[in-house]
């Protein structure tokens, strides 16, 4: 959404018959021409770090009222421009914002969009690795213990041999391929990449091997989504 040619990217993807999924924290509104066609956007995910200014002061540091307003504008504008997909609020669950979840649900209901809670996790591969290996520095660990629901969000990660993120071609803003959205290891120019090369680089990657051994890919395909029973237990234990 930050890209100055956002509308052009959507237009080209439409011409190429590509469905698009967008993820945004709604801090910036994209510039859209009158001719903007949102009909090939399958879903839009709004990441929210809570539902109060106090929570936003802790994490995203944005003006919370502005974010709500921007979400309303994006939902309305995209629908006016042919969007028929699904909007989701990805509510990042921290210990300090559990009580704000209901307000986020109520807000989502007014816009007829989905509110989907997900456990906040350490979003830094190196630090996450240190946490799982028990080598995270004490000060950071204290913050993690205070803010995150570590047991349910990042606990019980077992080794895996599969990563759902590995097949996704990940490109940075300079057109360079990177290992995945968690690890920005440079894999070369996108115009020199082929599907075979992409697959080989991942299957030979020492980083991927270590990552799968630690079970980190499981965060993506199971641990991130909030199980409502787990959430109820987390509430009860506070």
- Of 41, 74, 148, 163, which one interacts with ligand SF4 (CB under 6 A)? 163
Q: Please pick, from the candidates 59, 67, 128, 212, the single residue that binds ligand SF4 as defined by CB under 6 A.
A: 212
Q: Cα 221 from chain centroid?
A: 12
Q: Any alpha helices (H) in 2-149, and if so which ranges?
A: 6-15, 53-58, 64-80, 101-111, 125-133, 138-147
Smallest gap from Cβ 163 to ligand SF4, in A, equals 3
Q: Return the residue of 70, 149, 217, 226 that touches ligand SF4, per CB under 6 A.
A: 217
Q: Is residue 121 involved in binding ligand SF4 (CB under 6 A)?
A: no
Helix ranges (H only) for the chain are: 6-15, 53-58, 64-80, 101-111, 125-133, 138-147, 150-153, 195-203, 206-214, 217-218, 228-236
223 is an interface residue for ligand SF4 by CB under 6 A: no
- From 108, 216, 223, 234, residue interacting with ligand SF4 (rule: CB under 6 A): 216
| Closest to 165 (Cα-Cα) out of 208, 225, 116 | 208
> 137 burial class (0-12, 13-18, 19+ CB within 10 angstroms)?
exposed
Candidates 183, 190, 201, 224; binder of ligand SF4 (CB under 6 A) is 183
User: Does residue 10 belong to the site contacting ligand SF4 (CB under 6 A)?
Assistant: no
3-state class of 37 per DSSP?
Answer: coil
Using the contact rule CB under 6 A, the part of the chain among 1-9, 105-113, 116-124, 174-182 near ligand SF4 is: 174-182
Which residues are at the interface with ligand SF4 (CB under 6 A)?
163, 165-166, 179-180, 182-183, 202, 207-208, 211-212, 216-217
């Amino acid at each position: 959404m930050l890209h100055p040619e956002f509308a052009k990217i959507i237009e080209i993807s439409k011409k190429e018959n590509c469905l698009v999924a967008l993820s945004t924290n709604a801090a910036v509104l994209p510039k859209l021409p009158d001719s903007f066609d949102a009909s090939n956007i399958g879903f839009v995910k709004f990441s929210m770090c809570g539902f109060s200014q106090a929570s936003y002061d802790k994490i995203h540091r944005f003006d919370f009222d502005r974010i709500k307003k921007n979400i309303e504008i994006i939902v309305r504008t995209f629908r006016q421009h042919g969007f028929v997909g699904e909007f989701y609020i990805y509510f990042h669950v921290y210990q300090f914002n559990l009580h704000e979840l209901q307000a986020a649900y109520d807000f989502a209901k007014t816009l007829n969009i989905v509110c989907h809670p997900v456990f906040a996790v350490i979003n830094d591969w190196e630090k996450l690795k240190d946490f799982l290996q028990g080598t995270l520095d004490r000060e950071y660990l204290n913050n993690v213990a205070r803010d995150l629901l570590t047991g349910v969000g990042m606990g019980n990660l077992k080794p895996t041999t599969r990563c759902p993120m590995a097949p996704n071609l990940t490109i940075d803003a300079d057109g360079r391929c990177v290992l995945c959205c968690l690890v920005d290891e440079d894999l070369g120019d996108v115009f020199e990449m082929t599907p075979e090369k992409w697959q080989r680089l991942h299957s030979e990657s020492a980083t991927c091997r270590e990552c799968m051994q630690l079970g980190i890919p499981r965060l993506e395909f199971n641990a991130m989504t909030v199980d409502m029973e787990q959430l109820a237990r987390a509430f009860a234990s506070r």
